[in-house]
Structure 1
Amino acid sequence: MHDIEAIERATLAAVPPRGQETWNDWLLAFDAGTVGRCHSATPLRHEAPAARTLAGLEERYAAQGLATVLRVPELPAFDAFRSQLGAAGYVRTKPTLVQAGRVGELAGGMPPAVDVQLAPTAAPDWEQVFLGEGFDPVDGASRLAILRRGADSVFASVREQGRTIAVGAACFSHGWCGVHGMRTLPAHRGRGLAGAVLSALARRAQERGVQRCFLQVEEGNARARSLYAGRGFTTAWGYAYWRKEEAKT
């Protein structure tokens, strides 16, 4: 079994919410942006939640002036809890896979032919991919602001004819390399740019002595899942967001 708590804490190190709290083996993130991981609660152990878990989580999010949003693993241990959520008016949405792998496989066999630049911050040209054609600018701006708060991160970019066309980021925390923010402009997809970005991030992880890597990908994103499978990622567990209709992830 992968180190669940380390992965969850490393996730929030990369996309830090404005506030967070550990309560009864749950990690609670408090924020108002569009990144679901930054304003949802997730368990640090994959064991059946205690009887009053939902009530306690709702109290804590209410105290922050936020709707309660949960990331619940799609595992048998949470069957009864998911039934409780459904009975309380929560709705399952956005099924997502947590995938893990080895940095050596992520790096690939040969250095990429594509020139990938690495920087400690997200420069304006890196940002433009998030805000560019084919992406939601509001969501992109929110994600950028959160990624910028990440500790010990590196930002990768591929430039062509003076324009950044593909980006990605990695955060080194809790013994893991977490991959985040992978985006390629629609007109440049299918050229192996994302793979080159992954290789560059993995080589930086190797320089840091980090051996394990993880990422999160929406279950329905077949293109990304195929790319990650080719680099040795396998699914550690899946989860879905649970929220009431008025809450947003």
Structure 2
Amino acid sequence: MIQAADIEAIERATLAAVAPDEVLEIEGWLVGLDPGTIRRAASAVPLSHNLPHDPAVLDAIEAAYRSRGLSPAFRVADAPGLEAVRAELTRRGYGFEQPTLVKTATVVAVRAVTDRDPAEVADRPDDAWAAVFLGEGFDPVDGAYRVKALSRSPGAAYGAVREGEAALAVGAGAFGHGWVSFHGMRTDAARRGEGLAGRVLAGLAGEAAARGIDRAFLQVEEKNAAARSLYARAGFTPAWRYFYWSRTA
């Protein structure tokens, strides 16, 4: 079972990695304030899975969004200790969707996911790295925003499997609060199924090991069976599940 301190560390590391325009801390919640397409960067998340329900706190979070012209949004684990929070959000007219898993692993296990050469790792993304997000099968608006957000992630590393001058598969590793977290895993649509994403994970895990970090986490939509299969081979096991909450009307 994951410890309370690790839940808080993972949530803080997550928000730092996706680099919202602004982050507030309101009575046990981290509030990401951002107009872009990355929902983790644009929602409020509790730092504990045992948080008492306080309508005034939710009022303050909603007011923070509205004062910036943003729609209030939350991401809340389906842990028993947050049942009262979820009930209050329902009472206020919020609905939930997009079940997402937080998974953890050891860096050693992630490095061992492939026996092929790991991806190259750089301390900044280049045009070829960014181009993968804009390729066939990806939403160009969302892709451009993810490139922008991940490019400003503090202290991140950027992995890429390359062929000539082109990048075929990419990802980012963020380092903070004792963890490495993986974000923006993308593979050229024409080259999926070749094990390239595993090489990206291995390369970024190697960078984490070089920095003395031995714990890893990532987040994956529950419906993404292909990604979940890869992450299971890399040693990731579920820590918790959350949903995004927004007003349905």
The 3 A distance-change label for structure 1 pair 216 and 109 is closer
- Name whichever of 133-142 and 113-122 sits farther off: 113-122
- Match runs of 1:99-118 below 5 Å: 99-108=103-112, 112-114=115-117, 116-118=119-121
2-structure distance, mates of 1:59, 1:49: 20
Match of 1:155 among 158, 176, 197: 158
Match of 1:9 among 12, 20, 31: 12
2-structure distance, mates of 1:245, 1:161: 47
- Name whichever of 232-241 and 60-69 sits farther off: 60-69
- Match runs of 1:144-183 below 5 Å: 144-183=147-186
CA contact (8 A) 1:114 1:193 kept: no
**Shift of residue 115 of structure 1?**
5.6
Match of 1:225 among 223, 228, 234: 228
Match of 2:211 among 208, 220, 226: 208
**Alignment pair present for 1:71 and 2:71:** no
**Shift of residue 61 of structure 1?**
1.6
Seq. identity, %: 47
CA contact (8 A) 1:91 1:245 kept: yes
Give 3-state SS (helix, strand or coil) of 1:65's partner. Answer: coil
Match of 1:83 among 87, 90, 94: 87
- Match runs of 1:9-48 below 5 Å: 9-48=12-51
**Alignment pair present for 1:143 and 2:146:** yes
CA contact (8 A) 1:114 1:158 kept: no
**Shift of residue 51 of structure 1?**
2.5
Give 3-state SS (helix, strand or coil) of 2:89's partner. Answer: helix
Give 3-state SS (helix, strand or coil) of 1:79's partner. Answer: helix
TM-score computed with the length of structure 2 as normaliser: 0.94
CA contact (8 A) 2:119 2:204 kept: no
1-structure distance, mates of 2:10, 2:52: 19
1-structure distance, mates of 2:11, 2:193: 31
2-structure distance, mates of 1:109, 1:101: 11
**Shift of residue 85 of structure 1?**
1.6
CA contact (8 A) 2:113 2:202 kept: no
CA contact (8 A) 1:171 1:179 kept: yes
- Give the RMSD, CA atoms, in angstroms: 1.4
CA contact (8 A) 2:118 2:202 kept: no
- Name whichever of 63-72 and 121-130 sits farther off: 63-72
1-structure distance, mates of 2:217, 2:139: 25
Letter in 2 for 1:156: G
Q: Counterpart in 2 of 1:193?
A: 196
**Shift of residue 161 of structure 1?**
4.0
**Shift of residue 229 of structure 1?**
0.9
Q: Counterpart in 1 of 2:123?
A: 120
Give 3-state SS (helix, strand or coil) of 1:229's partner. Answer: helix
The 3 A distance-change label for structure 1 pair 109 and 125 is closer
- Name whichever of 95-104 and 60-69 sits farther off: 60-69
**Alignment pair present for 1:239 and 2:246:** no
2-structure distance, mates of 1:104, 1:205: 10
1-structure distance, mates of 2:65, 2:111: 40
Pairs aligned (count):
245
2-structure distance, mates of 1:183, 1:43: 28
2-structure distance, mates of 1:190, 1:176: 28
**Shift of residue 109 of structure 1?**
6.9
